[in-house]
Amino acid sequence: MVLPIYTGTENDVLREVAKSVKKVTKQHLKLIKNMKQTMVNAHGLGLAAPQVGVGDRILIANFQYGEKVGEKNVVMALINPEIIKHSDEEVMGEEGCLSLPEVYAPVKRYKNILVRFLDEKGNEQHLELSELNARIIQHEIDHLDGKLFVDYLDEAVIGKYEKELAEANQF
C-alpha cells in the first residue's frame, strides 16, 4: 500500500525525534513493506518512518550500486540505524527530499560511514557505505532526529525556494 508522504519544514511529525524500536513486530514489518512501496512509487532514494507519520526509528534505503542511478539498486530496511564510524572527509552533493518537493541543493556529508542497524528479522547488521549511499543514510537518519536537509542551507539558497517551501508547508 502506498502511504501519503508528509511534507513541509514546519510539519510537527517531521520535526520530532523518532523512538527506538525495542522489538521488531508484525506491525513494523507491515509498515516496512508499505514504506518500500511508497518510496519506489515516488522514485525516492530513501524514506524515513516520520515521512509517513510514524515516529519509529525505521528507514528504507534505495542503495545504488550501478554507474548510473537506477541501474543497479538494493532496497533495504534499516531499524535503529546508527553511524558508529565516519571518515573525516566530507563531500558536497545535491540532495532532494520527498517531503520537500522541487527543492534541490548541495549539502556536505561524510564521504564514508559505518552504520549499525537491525534488519527485518531483528538481527544486528553493519554496513560500510560511501558517497551516494552514505549520503542517503545521513539524510534519512536526520529525518529520525527531526532534521531536514534544508536546515543546512544558508538563507540565500532557501530564499530561492520560497515558493516550493510555502507549498510544502500547506499540509
Residues of the shown chain interacting with Zn ion in the complex, contacts defined by CB under 5 A: 97
Which one is catalytic: 10, 16, 95, 140? 140
State the DSSP code for 17: P
Could you give the CA distance from residue 56 to residue 50 in angstroms, rounded to a whole number? 7
Element (DSSP H or E) covering residue 117: strand 112-118
> For this structure, is 140 an active site residue?
yes
Least separation in angstroms between CB 142 and Zn ion: 8
Which residue minimizes CB distance to Zn ion?
97
Could you give the CA distance from residue 130 to residue 69 in angstroms, rounded to a whole number? 14
Least separation in angstroms between CB 22 and Zn ion: 25
Q: Which of 81, 35, 44 is nearest to 64 (CA)?
A: 44
Least separation in angstroms between CB 122 and Zn ion: 25
Least separation in angstroms between CB 95 and Zn ion: 8
How far does CA 158 lie from the centroid of its chain?
Answer: 20
Q: Return the amino acid letter for 15.
A: R
Could you give the CA distance from residue 120 to residue 76 in angstroms, rounded to a whole number? 9
CB 148 within 8 A of CB 17: no
Q: Which residues are catalytic?
A: 140
